[in-house]
Amino acid sequence: MDITKGLEQTFQDGKDQAASAVASATTTPLNVEFPPNKLLELVAKGLAVEKDEMLRGVSSTTLFDSSMASAHGSVPAPRVVSMDFSAVHDVKGASKSFPKHETRQISEHKNVARCARFSPDGRFFATGSADTSIKLFEVSKVKQMMLPDQRDGAHMPPGFQTYYDSLDSINDLVFHTRNSILVSGARDCTIKFFDFSKALTRKAFKIIQDTHNVRSLSFHPSGEFLLAGTDHPIAHLYDVNTFQCCPSANVQETSNGAINQVRYSSTGGIYVTASKDGAVRLWDGVTSQCVRSILGAHGTAEATSATFTKDQKYVLSSGKDSMVNLWEVGTGRLVKQYPGATHTQLRSQAVFSKTEEFVLSIDELSNEIVIWDALTAEQVARWPSNHVGSPRWLEHSPVEESFVTSGTDGSIRFWKEA
């Protein structure tokens, strides 16, 4: 019996801790294979979601099931048309002006605030910290406390809900695509599921014990599958109904670099990884094979983030070479660079604004937020972050012109259009 089968049998025999220990020592993921058609079903469900959105005239960021709508009164947001980047390398002329924003510190963690994430409908966001806590906020209440008549003397509560159920730093968070479920990935090698519709619950209702430090998470659009980027060189794919895992590719097709970030495309037909070995890789969502490797995407430095444009034709990446790059998915060609923001130490990311008209990132040295026109690549704004020390993370709302920054000082700031 080879080591992979032995680990599977050990895990199925209920000896999960022993299996995890051996898997970690041998860098072998716990492999419970899906039926042959499972990955085909995964993409089919993503395409079905997209078709349903088109018929109903709403975006995937507004799809929640009836229980979620009942619990939180979710209202579908207007469909957002994606930016046309087809002529991005030929764009000339005046850049757009980024709208003015106002900001306020709304809470703080006791240690570095390492990550932040909005819910798909934009009604909630959550932050995770090196202090092992997770804070959940309701956007409408945050906005209310930023009103002029609320600023003087108003006390901002530490969070809509706070969760303490991890043993080490929270590296990433992701909301389920339909349900009131928040998922965390942590340095203690756990993936934890929290039901935030239950106000008094502070503990996870389900825990997946991975074999490696969990750095990044991304839900398939169907909400039935979860990708985890870890210290292992390939992403781990989980079925959230069975919580079983199978590796998403062959180890031989990758290098030894851990995955800093993993993100699905809008339909789930493809996903992207940004790795510590400096590569940005594109993976087929049906076969789980690497279809394109952009080696040295950020020179010899780590690639720290990668995300798709809404039309899935381009990938925006950032790295510790202080560059933000736009890549063409079909060819792997570099079509645009956004220079001028220093980030060499932190696992920071670059993101699009809601309309994809702008790109946002951070400058570690100047402690500023840097904004570029996405088409012209011209810097259009540099704002003081107002954090004491560099912002660690920046996440933009999917439905409006607002974003969240979390800092090395542990503080959390909310930014909204003035």
Span 337-384, pLDDT tens digits: 999 999 999 888 999 999 999 999 999 999 999 999 999 999 999 999
Instruction: For residues 262 and 305, give the distance between their C-alpha atoms in angstroms, rounded to a whole number.
Output: 8
Instruction: For residues 157 and 35, give the distance between their C-alpha atoms in angstroms, rounded to a whole number.
Output: 47
Within a domain: residue 14?
A: no
Within a domain: residue 80?
A: yes
Span 268-287, pLDDT tens digits: 999 999 999 999 999 988 77
pLDDT at 104: 93
Q: Which two tokens stand for residue 306?
A: 């990668």
Instruction: For residues 279 and 384, give the distance between their C-alpha atoms in angstroms, rounded to a whole number.
Output: 31
Global confidence as pTM: 0.81
Mean pLDDT of the chain: 81
Span 198-248, pLDDT tens digits: 877 889 999 999 999 999 999 999 999 999 999 999 899 999 989 988 755
Within a domain: residue 363?
A: yes
pLDDT at 160: 83
Within a domain: residue 320?
A: yes
Percent of the chain with pLDDT over 70: 74
Within a domain: residue 128?
A: yes
CA angle, corner 251, sides to 278 and 347, nearest 5? Answer: 30
Compute CA distances 344 → 95, 205, 262, whole Å.
27, 37, 20
Instruction: For residues 77 and 252, give the distance between their C-alpha atoms in angstroms, rounded to a whole number.
Output: 43
pLDDT at 410: 94
Per-residue pLDDT at 114 exceeds 70: yes
Within a domain: residue 3?
A: no
Per-residue pLDDT at 329 exceeds 80: yes
CATH number, domain at 57?
2.130.10.10
Within a domain: residue 323?
A: yes
Within a domain: residue 264?
A: yes
Total number of domains in the chain? 1
pLDDT at 71: 31
Residue 186: give the domain boundaries: 32-417
Phi, psi dihedrals of residue 151, rounded to the nearest 5° = -75, -40
